Amino acid sequence: MKQITIAIDGFSSTGKSTIAKQIAKHLGYVYVDSGAMYRAITYFAMQNNFIAKDFFKADILVANLERITISFKFNPNVGFAEVYLNGENIEHAIRTLEVSGFVSKVAAIPEVRYLLVKQQQNLGKDKGVVMDGRDIGTVVFPYAELKIFMTASADTRAQRRFDELIKRGDKVQYQDVLTNVQERDYIDSHREDSPLVKADDAIEIDNSHLTRAEQFDKVLQLVNSTLKE
């Protein structure tokens, strides 16, 4: 069967990775979480004291980018590929509110984007890939056969992220999660390099009032009609 590239972009916590994982599993495609790669570099910057609440040594981070190797390894127990930084599994460590608080600043650096976009294009070079992020349909795979742009209200997204963090055992306040979602939306869509925008040919899905099953059916229909084209 024909292999296509599926780009899923949208604001933070819109459930992009949930639907991307479901579709990749259904089609037997590779799933790539591009946000995890930006989070991995952010985690590296935090570990090396290049970023903290009151400073960000962006130049030093850029000078150290060559020390970073990001890889993905499929974990059959969870059913998707987990992210590794220099050989260490950081899948859990990069999902904290602290990493979320710094990641948009790191993702705004052109050198970081240049490096990761090249790696993402390489991961998708054989097609048969579902990648989620902010610039997948606009920059990474502008010729993707199917582009989806996910939206939902900020409150809905913050509530979902809050529930996820509480389930993990993190001690967080709803208001802090909402503020983080709103701040990331702003930085991600106002940065100079590859801001978050809907590609002209992307199909928008507002999932504020959709169940996971309804959302899956909707996207699968889009996939099937793209495969028939």
- Residues in touch with ligand DC (CB under 6 A): 12, 34-35, 38-39, 103-104, 107, 133-136, 184, 188
Closer CB to ligand DC, residue 97 or residue 222?
A: 97
The contacts of residue 210 (CB under 8 Å, 6+ apart) are 218
**Within a 10 A sphere around the Cβ of 77, how many other Cβ atoms?**
6
| Cα 54–Cα 174–Cα 160 angle in degrees, nearest 5 | 115
Closer CB to ligand DC, residue 185 or residue 206?
A: 185
Largest CA distance in the chain: 53
Minimum separation from the CB atom of position 229 to ligand DC (A): 25
Minimum separation from the CB atom of position 188 to ligand DC (A): 5
- DSSP-derived pairing of the beta strands 203-206 and 70-75: unpaired
Closer CB to ligand DC, residue 110 or residue 225?
A: 110
Looking up tokens 């701040």, which residue turns up? Answer: 183
DSSP code at position 213? H
Closer CB to ligand DC, residue 4 or residue 13?
A: 13
Closer CB to ligand DC, residue 187 or residue 210?
A: 187
**34 closest CA partner among 182, 136, 149:** 136
Minimum separation from the CB atom of position 1 to ligand DC (A): 27
SS3 string of 122-135?
Answer: HHCCCCCEEEEECC
**33 closest CA partner among 67, 11, 14, 8:** 8
Tokens of 117: 């976009």
Minimum separation from the CB atom of position 44 to ligand DC (A): 14
Minimum separation from the CB atom of position 213 to ligand DC (A): 22
Closer CB to ligand DC, residue 174 or residue 227?
A: 174
Minimum separation from the CB atom of position 168 to ligand DC (A): 14
- Burial of residue 136 (CB within 10 Å: 0-12, 13-18, 19+) is buried
Integer Cα distance of 214 and 226 in angstroms: 19
